[in-house]
Amino acid sequence: MLGENITLAWRSLMANKLRTFLTMLGIIIGIAAVIAITTIGNSTVEQTKKEYSQMGTNVINYYIYEDYTMSDTDDAGNVTEPADTSSQPQFTKDMMEKMVAKFGDKIDCIMMQAWLTSTQAKRDSASDSKTANITVQGVNNGFFKLPTNNFQLTAGTTFQEGQMGADDKVCIVSDKLVDNLFDGDYEGAIGQDIEFEMSDMDLGGQDENKQTYIYTIIGVYAYQIQGQDFQNSADMKNIQTDLYIPYLNAQSLVKYESGKQINYFSLNAKPGEDVFTLTDDIKAYLQSLVPAGTNAIVDGDNNATYIEQAEASVKQKSLQAALVGAIALLVGGIGVMNIMTVTIVERTKEIGTRKALGALNSDIRSQFITEAIMICLIGGAIGIAGGISIGFVACKMQGIAPVLSFKQIGIFFLISLAIGVFFGYYPAAKAARMNPIDALRYE
Amino acid sequence: MSEETVKAPETEQAEKTLPEADTPAKECAEETKASSDVVIHLENIVKKYYIGSENELEVLHGISLDIREGELTSIVGESGSGKSTLMNIIGLLDKPTEGKYSLLGEDVECMKDATMSKIRGLRIGFVFQNYNLIPRMSALANVEVPLLYARKSPRERKERAEELLEMVGMKDRMNHNPDELSGGQKQRVAIARAMANDPALILGDEPTGALDRETSEEVINIFHDLHDKGKTVLLITHSEHVAEETSRILTLMDGRITGERKGAYAG
Where do the domains of chain A lie?
2-52+309-441, 58-302
Residue B174: pLDDT band with limits 50, 70, 90: very high
Q: What integer best gives the mean pLDDT of chain A? A: 85
Residue A27 CB neighbours (<10 A): 30
Measured distance CA(B16)–CA(A190) in Å, rounded: 126
The band of A77, judged by pLDDT with boundaries at 50, 70 and 90, is low
pLDDT tens readout for residues A244-261: 999 888 888 888 776 777
Model pTM score: 0.67
3-state helix, strand, coil split of chain A in percent (to 5) is 55, 20, 25
pLDDT score recorded for residue A275: 84
Instruction: Tell me the per-residue pLDDT of A357-416, one tens digit each, with 9 for 90 and over.
Output: 999 999 999 999 999 999 999 999 999 999 999 999 999 998 888 888 888 889 888 999
What pLDDT does residue A228 have? 56
Residue B99 has pLDDT above 90, yes or no: yes
pLDDT tens track for B191-218: 999 999 999 899 999 999 888 989 999 9
What A95-104 contacts at long range (C-beta under 8 Å, 24+ apart), as own/partner pairs, is A95/A286, A95/A289, A95/A290, A96/A262, A96/A265, A98/A285, A98/A289, A99/A282, A99/A285, A99/A286, A99/A289, A102/A285, A103/A278, A103/A281, A103/A282, A103/A285
CA distance A274 to B119: 73
pLDDT of residue A429: 95
pLDDT at B19 over 70: no
Closest approach of B211 to chain A, Cα-based (Å): 19
Q: Does A429 touch chain B (CB under 8 A)?
A: no
Put simply, whether A353 touches B (Cβ < 8 Å) is yes
CA-derived radius of gyration, chain A: 35
Pick the closest to residue B89 from B78, B80, B98 (CA basis): B98
Instruction: Go through chain B and tell me how many residues it has.
Output: 267
Q: Which of residues 197-216 of A touch B (CB under 8 A)?
A: none
Domains of chain B from N-terminus onward: 3-262 (3.40.50.300)
Higher per-residue pLDDT: A93 or B85:
B85
Please return the burial class of B140, using the count of CB atoms within 10 Å of its CB with bins 0-12, 13-18 and 19+: buried
Residues on chain A touching B112 (C-beta within 8 angstroms)? none
Residue predicted with more confidence, A46 or B169: B169
Residues of A in contact with B148 (CB under 8 A): 1, 4
Note the pLDDT of residue A51.
76
Q: Among partner residues B88, B148, B154, which is closest to A437 by beta-carbon distance?
A: B88
Average pLDDT for residues A314-336, to the nearest whole number? 86
Sequence-distant contacts of B79-86: CB under 8 A, at least 24 apart: B79/B238, B81/B252, B81/B253, B81/B254, B81/B255, B82/B47, B82/B252, B82/B254, B82/B255, B83/B236, B83/B238, B83/B252, B84/B205, B84/B236, B85/B47, B85/B59, B85/B60, B86/B45, B86/B47, B86/B60, B86/B236, B86/B252
Question: Cβ distance B163 to B219 under 8 Å?
Answer: no
pLDDT beyond 80 at A301? yes
Q: How many residues does chain A have?
A: 443
Q: Which of A21, A9, A8, A18 is nearest to A332 (CA)?
A: A21
Give the pLDDT confidence of B131-145 residue by residue, as tens digits: 999 988 999 999 999
Compute the average pLDDT of residues B19-41: 58
Do A354 and B145 lie within an 8 Å CB cutoff? yes
pLDDT the model gives residue B35: 57
User: What does DSSP assign to residue B229?
Assistant: T
pLDDT of B10 over the 70 cut:
no
B91 CB neighbours in chain A (<8 A) are 356
B134/A363 touch (CB, cutoff 8 Å), yes or no: no
Which chain B positions have a beta carbon within 8 Å of A348's beta carbon? none
Q: Which of B148, B177, B203 to mutate to test the interface with A (most CBs of A within 10 A)?
A: B148
Report how far residue A245's alpha carbon sits from residue A202's, in angstroms, rounded to the nearest whole number: 16
ipTM of the complex, rounded to two decimals: 0.85
Q: Are the Cβ atoms of B113 and A361 closer than 8 angstroms?
A: yes
pLDDT in tens, B224-259: 999 999 999 999 999 999 999 999 999 999 999 999
Mutation choice for A interface testing from B145, B153, B156 by most A CBs within 10 A: B145
pLDDT at B65 over 70: yes
Tell me, what's the pLDDT at B96?
Answer: 92
* A356 reaches B (C-beta below 8 A): yes
Give the dihedral of Cα atoms B219, B221, B223, B226; nearest 10 deg: -130
Whole-number pLDDT of residue A235: 72
Chain B residues whose C-beta sits inside 8 Å of any chain A C-beta: 88, 91, 93-94, 113-114, 117-118, 120-122, 126, 128, 132-137, 145-146, 148-151, 154, 193, 197
Instruction: Give the per-residue pLDDT at B11.
Output: 38
Higher per-residue pLDDT: B234 or A72 = B234
Does A358 contact B120 at a Cβ distance shorter than 8 Å? yes
DSSP one-letter string for B87-109: HHHHTTSS--SEEEEEETTEEGG
A307/A322 Cα distance (integer angstroms):
22
Residue A175 has pLDDT above 80, yes or no: yes
Q: Name the residue facing A353 among B113, B132, B148 (closest C-beta).
A: B132
Instruction: Using pLDDT thresholds of 50, 70 and 90, give the confidence band for residue A432.
Output: very high
**SS3 (DSSP) at B34:** coil
Top pLDDT among B94 and A206 is at B94
pLDDT > 70: percent of chain A: 92
Say whether B126 and A359 touch across the interface (CB within 8 A): no
Question: Among A363, A437, A440, whose Cβ lies nearest the Cβ of B149?
Answer: A363
Please classify residue B114 by burial: count the beta carbons closer than 10 Å to its beta carbon, then call 0-12 exposed, 13-18 middle and 19+ buried: exposed
If pLDDT is split at 50, 70 and 90, which confidence band does B177 have?
Answer: very high
Q: Is A126 on the interface with B (CB under 8 A)?
A: no
